[in-house]
């Protein structure tokens, strides 16, 4: 929700939590990288943990954002194409799209789970966190998006074509 509209419902607590988590990740990444740059160019030494921490937080931030954007309908949509289908075609395409989302989430979740299992036995070089923390947000994102798509499919919820952009 980039624009303030008084008729829109307030964000759900999970959306607020996702926003806080993404903001925290971004803030810590910015501070770590800034401090590393200042130390490297100002004092000839840097923080070895800065790169590793920033990478981990970036991965988490991206997948938290992807999971938070899905229920809001903020992922890429081909609204100009879908609007041409008419009511029956749009209803059929809605089912196809949701099934494809669920399939994509199953594939992403399965691959992420395999990487989590592999990463449980090893630790990062500098910070020493379990390497399983890198693919874990992809697994959680796949679970959240897949569950949301399944609920929308069961409820027969129509696609929201009310995007403001002509071409997406």
Alpha carbon distance 24, 57 (integer Å): 9
Question: Could you read off the pLDDT tens digit of each residue along the chain, which spans 168 residues?
Answer: 445 555 566 778 888 899 999 999 999 999 999 999 999 888 888 888 898 999 999 999 999 999 998 888 777 776 777 777 777 887 888 888 899 999 999 999 999 999 999 999 999 999 999 999 999 999 999 999 999 999 999 998 877 666 554 444
Alpha helices, DSSP H, located in the chain: 13-43, 48-69, 79-82, 86-119, 136-154
pTM: 0.80
Report pLDDT for 8.
61
Write down the pLDDT at residue 58.
Answer: 96
Helix axes 86-119, 136-154, angle to 10 degrees: 150
CA angle 88, 151, 75 (to 5 degrees): 75
Confidence (pLDDT) at 2: 47
């Amino acid at each position: 929700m980039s624009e303030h509209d008084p008729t829109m419902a307030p964000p759900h607590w999970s959306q607020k939590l996702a926003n806080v988590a993404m903001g925290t990740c971004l803030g810590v990444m910015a501070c770590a990288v800034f401090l590393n740059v200042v130390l490297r160019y100002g004092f000839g030494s840097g923080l070895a943990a800065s790169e590793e921490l920033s990478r981990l937080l970036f991965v988490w931030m991206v997948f938290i954002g992807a999971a938070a954007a899905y229920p809001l309908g903020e992922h890429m949509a081909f609204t100009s194409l879908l609007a041409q289908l008419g009511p029956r075609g749009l209803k059929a395409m809605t089912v196809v799209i949701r099934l494809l989302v669920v399939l994509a989430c199953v594939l992403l979740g399965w691959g992420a789970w395999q990487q989590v299992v592999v990463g449980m036995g090893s630790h990062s070089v500098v910070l020493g966190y379990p390497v399983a923390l890198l693919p874990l947000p992809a697994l959680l994102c796949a679970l959240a998006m897949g569950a949301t798509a399944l609920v929308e499919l069961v409820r027969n919820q129509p696609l929201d074509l009310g995007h403001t952009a002509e071409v997406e």
